[in-house]
């Protein structure tokens, strides 16, 4: 099953129809939140610039919002300030907001359905966390035959620990981008993405 399974009879997807997917840019990842990430403010600025560009280009825009429903969850809890989408990328009228409960935004199929209805073949993705929901969503999108462009400087991560060793957030971020680049996605800076989308051949 892939995006083409959701295109109606007689419909043909527009070649390289592009959509922007913003993943989990929510208050709990920012200073004062329950799970602050390193570089979330800077990444959200880039995500905001990318969002503004895609609005000007009138591209489909989808905001993904994680709502934690699992027992013992400590952030993104329902009906809290922390679960709200950050003001830097706040949705406006006409922009789709999809809620999810798992790292992979495609798991519940509603995202795939919406992309199929919009005939999307290429995704520009940004968000948080680089090593969790962004990674899971990019890999799933690639497996579903979407062309993926990941705006690396519009993503953020946090430090991790394994076997007594702490891995710095910037190293976590870089390692996950490096693993995705060239296989699951084309990792680019915001400026590179902007140049690509603004090109007549985009």
Kindly report, residue by residue over 16-71, the tens digit of the pLDDT: 599 999 999 999 999 999 999 999 999 999 999 999 999 999 999 999 999 999 99
pLDDT at 152: 98
Euclidean distance between CA atoms 84 and 90, whole angstroms: 9
DSSP 5: G
- Measured from the Cβ of residue 83, the count of other Cβ atoms closer than 10 Å reads 21
pLDDT at 140: 98
pLDDT at 202: 62
Task: Answer yes or no: CATH 3.40.50.920 is held by domain 3-198.
Answer: no
- What global pTM score does this model have? 0.91
**Could you tell me the residue ranges of all domains in the chain?**
3-198
pLDDT at 4 over 80: no
What are the pLDDT digits (tens) for 101-146?
A: 999 999 999 999 999 999 999 999 999 999 999 999 999 999 999 9
Euclidean distance between CA atoms 98 and 7, whole angstroms: 20
Residues 6+ apart with CB under 8 A from 193: 50, 124, 149, 151
pLDDT at 200: 73
Q: What is the DSSP string of 75-125?
A: SS-TTSGGGSBPGGG---TT-EEEEESSS-TTTTSHHHHHHHHTT--EEEE
């Amino acid at each position: 099953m892939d995006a083409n399974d959701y295109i109606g009879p007689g419909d043909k997807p527009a070649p390289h129809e592009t959509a922007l997917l913003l993943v989990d840019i929510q208050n709990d990842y920012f200073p004062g939140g329950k799970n602050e990430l390193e570089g979330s403010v800077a990444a959200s600025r880039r995500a905001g610039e990318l969002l503004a560009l895609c609005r000007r280009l009138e591209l489909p825009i989808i905001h993904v919002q994680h709502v934690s429903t699992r027992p013992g969850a400590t952030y993104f809890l329902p009906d809290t300030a922390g679960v709200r989408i950050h003001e830097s990328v706040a949705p406006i009228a006409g922009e789709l907001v999809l809620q999810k409960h798992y790292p992979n935004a495609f798991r519940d199929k509603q995202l795939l359905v919406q992309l199929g209805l919009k005939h999307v073949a290429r995704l520009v993705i940004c968000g948080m966390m680089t090593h969790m929901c962004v990674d899971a969503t990019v890999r799933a999108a690639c497996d579903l035959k979407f062309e993926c462009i990941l705006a690396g400087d519009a993503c953020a991560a946090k430090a991790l620990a394994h076997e007594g060793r702490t891995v710095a957030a910037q190293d976590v971020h870089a390692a996950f981008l490096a693993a995705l680049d060239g296989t699951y996605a084309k990792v680019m800076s915001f400026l590179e993405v902007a140049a690509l989308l603004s090109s007549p051949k985009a």
